[in-house]
A and B are shown apart, each in its own frame.
Chain A
């Protein structure tokens, strides 16, 4: 049986797809056969972040409609042979995504994979609801920013009431916080909500802080998940996240940022 993870946020642009690609790659690199599914029907992007956009032949909707088998639609990642991508459909209408269809695909994938990562679209529409419906774990991606925190809180409400686990009165979805685009300099100067501020409101199990990092854009430009950039802080932060999710104890990093003596004295900015 696979463990199903939904990467969700409510708000757009906070780093859901970046996170989905990174953690799926991280899990696969750790030796777990992992599938990552793009639920953003009509606006697929995960294929770009994973650099497989030119290898898309069939998509999620094709599989749901029975026009292709799962094995025909799954794309094996070029960097890791335990990672497979199921791309979203680019053109068809959103109603093609049905609860029954999604359930069948997940059930079939569960037989073969250890982890299934569902990359949720933004918003609280059908695609987002279906991405979380079957989940066992939720990675709530949040920016230290007022609208993102509010939307995350909203998603927590939906996770606890609109999922299959909620409907069946099973153990609720395990919710984790991923605080992304964190700028410790701005936190220090009082311009940005701190980890503690966000946790005072959301109080979730913290999987990790991903610092604001130029390497995220470079990684998307190249179509290589940022977790493979071992030199970058964001890459290391995602590696920590995967390790913690798998049960390893690792101290949290990137809360205080880099602090040289002169920076501490003069409070210099990057």
Chain B
């Protein structure tokens, strides 16, 4: 390390910032890349079926696909609305 580098230590190192941001971003994008291509359609169709019975919002359903060495997991998460609100919604 040079003398000047020693004085530069007080400055923030932007390269490490870039690396951290990249690591998070790339991990996120890779997990999406490996998803099966039927996922968006599955999500749409599930939403249609569920809406026949419960008035859920578009954003209240999430489908996640995770893959590790041993297994693939398909996780389906539906947030049901408040019971009374849901009934009101269906009666309209």
Contacts and interface: CB of A to CB of B under 8 A. Distances in A.
Interface of A: 145-146, 149-150, 153-154, 157, 187-194, 197, 200-201, 263-268
A187 B15 contact: yes
B29 A190 contact: no
Interface bin, chain B = 20 to 34
Given A189-B5, A266-B4, A153 B30 contact: yes
B79 interface: no
B8 to A, nearest CB: 6
B3 A191 contact: no
Interface of B: 2-5, 8, 11, 13-16, 18-19, 21-23, 25-26, 29-30, 33
Contacts of B2: 263-267
Contacts of A264: 2
A134 B89 CA distance: 54
Contacts of A146: 18, 21-22
A149 B27 CA distance: 13
5 contacts: A146-B18, A146-B21, A189-B8, A200-B23, A264-B2
Contact of A150 (B4, B16, B26): B26
